[in-house]
Structure 1
Amino acid sequence: MKKINPIDNNHLSASIQKFNQGVLSIEDWDSVTESRYSRNSLLSYRNDWQVFVSFCQSQHVTALPCAVTTLRRFAELTSQQRKVSAIRRIIVTVGLVHRLHRQRDPSKHREVKYAMARLLAAKLPEAKEAAPFRKRHLSALREHFQSSNRLRDIRDLLIWSLCYEGLLKRSELAALAAEDVLYDGEKAYVMIGEQRVVLSEQTAVTLAIWLKYSGIHQGPLLRRINKHGHLGDTPLDPSSIYRVFRRASDVLGESVVFSGQSPRVGASKALAKQGLSIKQIQHLGRWKSPAMPAQYVGNREASEQAKARYRHKKSTE
């Protein structure tokens, strides 16, 4: 948004009255915006403002200044006749008019942002979410590979186990080092940043077998293995992680292809069924906002609201 000086106090009252009537010329708009916009932009502003003023008149409320609830209701009530992109453009125009007239900008209020997020979610097709990798998938893979002593089988089983139990991101998995493995009595842990993730007995056994067969004592915990079965020195990259989860789909005969995100989706759903709140799942999965865990467990409205809050926070940093 271009920086434009607000209307001076000597002309403020007259301008507010004129804008509330809604009938303004291109020259009027050019004057209040200090000739910063093209004619096409001014036409768009004029038309958008007239639409909003007409709505306010039909609702018997004031357009300038307008209440936050008025702008929210405008978005909700006109969503059946107008595209979300058009509504968003009109809301931007309303915000501009308020700032030019030294009024508080209602378009920045979270109530309006949440309403727009809900409208966008309703208009968009369902987001293509990664296929959930569930506990039953992990159990089947353990049964299939539990007696194998092939290095690739042990590593892949450990990857599936760690990602599911620790809700690991692909970057966190690749960054794991041997030094991140801790023991406290009979319990085994891995450190993910500042968070200590406790491992199940089965995963701890798989980890011990991996360390024994790989001979890894320091550096990357999970490494690439070439086509000859030789262990490399470099950590897994995104394409390697993708192939590991595609292999899980092939072994299980699943019609969907798992991705590195699949365990976080499946584990989030399982934790929600256990009664954990979205906030608790967010903490366990180390998400910066509750948006994604809310989406994974099916709470779409909470997800969109959290995304709106997160975008607002980032825009003010």
Structure 2
Amino acid sequence: MSANTFKNYMTQWNLFRCWATAKCVQCLPAQAAQVAAYLAERTELHGHKPATLRVAAAAIAFAHRSAGCEDPCSSDEVKRTLKAAARKSGRAQKQAVALTAEALGIIRTAACRPRPGRGGRLESPGKAKARGSFDIALISVMRDAMLRVSEAAALKWGDIHTEPDGTGRLLIRRSKTDPEGRGAVAFVSAEAMAALSIIKEARSGSDDVFALSPNQISRRIKQAAQAAGLGEGFSGHSPRVGMARDLVRAGIELPALMHAGRWRSPAMPAHYARNEIAGNNAVARFYGTPAGHLNAATQSDAAQREIRRHG
């Protein structure tokens, strides 16, 4: 598994271990009833979200499997507790605002404008241009290659190859869904490659492209969106979500979208692009046919007659 996943598992396991110690119960192996009680307590007393509880359960399951013990989280009792937490929450999981092609265009126009610094003093034109050019390159590449923040943070100049037509190929050496490091190659547009060339300067193949941590990448994207007047809700995940929505809007089918974004399951890309998928479902297609147009016109005429009848 990825380093981030392992770190999250260890955090969640230590929380459960401390809870078990305080309750004077055994944490390894743990009884299913105790794990269910622990998860229920986190829901009832602390208001933890279903997604957090699923990670906690996965961490407990991982610890038991690693120790050769029976997994208590595979029990019906624990599964029912997780389902109950999801029902109690009753809300869709918060999603990053999509950074679509339209949003990128707006960011491009505003990126190199001087911004006020910490003391309220405006950047110099040269500094604003350098910062803005960096933001444009970062967001453009993350959108084209549908990069996660961890993948963008790990990117080296030696992982990027320029094709004769000006487009690029980007090697993703390791990712969340590829912990073994088999690697994947992503397409980068000529426009994004041109943006990269502006910020490259004299760099070797072993140098980081962006030289930022995942948190710093998320912060820069958020600030770029805010400075462009796009509002709140943008994060390091926004370029990936935005490209997913753009691809579905362009008619790309889910299997091709999964391949481009390196998803193993269709659940997440379908969630990200659910509005666009709904706009292309069977009913939407029906209304795009001659029969659908006739049906819509008939309904409209009937509605107008009803309005006239009731004055």
* TM-score, length basis structure 2: 0.50
Residue 166 of structure 1 and its aligned partner are, at CA, apart by: 1.2
Say whether the 8 Å CA contact 2:111–2:133 is kept in structure 1. yes
Residue 123 of structure 1 and its aligned partner are, at CA, apart by: 6.3
Q: Which residue of 1 aligns with 2:152?
A: 173
| Alpha-carbon distance in structure 1 between the residues aligned to 2:270 and 2:187 | 23
Residue 151 of structure 1 and its aligned partner are, at CA, apart by: 2.9
Q: What are the superposed Cα offsets for residues 162-221 of structure 1, whole Å, 9 maximum, x if unpaired?
A: 11111100011001101011022123222123332222221111111111xx32122233
Q: Which residue of 2 aligns with 1:188?
A: 168
Identity among equivalent pairs (%): 27
| Alpha-carbon distance in structure 1 between the residues aligned to 2:158 and 2:95 | 33
Say whether the 8 Å CA contact 2:107–2:225 is kept in structure 1. no
- Aligned partner letter, 2:194: V
Residue 243 of structure 1 and its aligned partner are, at CA, apart by: 1.7
Q: Which residue of 1 aligns with 2:107?
A: 141
RMSD: 3.5
Say whether the 8 Å CA contact 2:171–2:186 is kept in structure 1. yes
Which one of the candidate residues 204, 207, 217 is aligned to 2:204? 217
**Using a 3 Å threshold, how does the CA distance of structure 1 residues 236 and 123 change in structure 2: closer, same or farther?**
closer
Q: Which residue of 2 aligns with 1:205?
A: 194
Q: Which residue of 2 aligns with 1:230?
A: none
Say whether the 8 Å CA contact 2:153–2:212 is kept in structure 1. yes
Which one of the candidate residues 93, 97, 100 is aligned to 1:127? 93
Partner SS for 1:196: strand
Partner SS for 2:195: helix
Partner SS for 2:98: coil
Say whether the 8 Å CA contact 2:99–2:238 is kept in structure 1. yes
Q: What are the superposed Cα offsets for residues 269-291 of structure 1, whole Å, 9 maximum, x if unpaired?
A: 11111222222211111123222
Question: 1:258 and 2:234 equivalent?
Answer: yes
| Alpha-carbon distance in structure 2 between the residues aligned to 1:242 and 1:120 | 28
Say whether the 8 Å CA contact 1:155–1:222 is kept in structure 2. no
Say whether the 8 Å CA contact 1:248–1:258 is kept in structure 2. no
Say whether the 8 Å CA contact 1:249–1:257 is kept in structure 2. no
Say whether the 8 Å CA contact 1:182–1:189 is kept in structure 2. yes
Partner SS for 1:139: helix
Say whether the 8 Å CA contact 1:174–1:237 is kept in structure 2. yes
Q: Which residue of 1 aligns with 2:138?
A: 159
Q: Which residue of 1 aligns with 2:291?
A: none
Say whether the 8 Å CA contact 2:222–2:232 is kept in structure 1. no
**Using a 3 Å threshold, how does the CA distance of structure 1 residues 267 and 121 change in structure 2: closer, same or farther?**
farther
* TM-score, length basis structure 1: 0.49
Residue 255 of structure 1 and its aligned partner are, at CA, apart by: 2.2
Residue 128 of structure 1 and its aligned partner are, at CA, apart by: 0.7
Q: Which runs of 5+ in 2 are unaligned?
A: 1-30, 34-73, 114-124, 174-182, 276-311
Q: Which residue of 1 aligns with 2:64?
A: none
| Alpha-carbon distance in structure 2 between the residues aligned to 1:131 and 1:270 | 13
Partner SS for 1:281: helix
Q: What are the superposed Cα offsets for residues 227-252 of structure 1, whole Å, 9 maximum, x if unpaired?
A: xxxxxxxx311221122112122221
Say whether the 8 Å CA contact 2:133–2:198 is kept in structure 1. yes
Aligned residues: 181
Q: Which residue of 2 aligns with 1:98?
A: none
- Aligned partner letter, 1:188: G
Say whether the 8 Å CA contact 2:226–2:232 is kept in structure 1. no
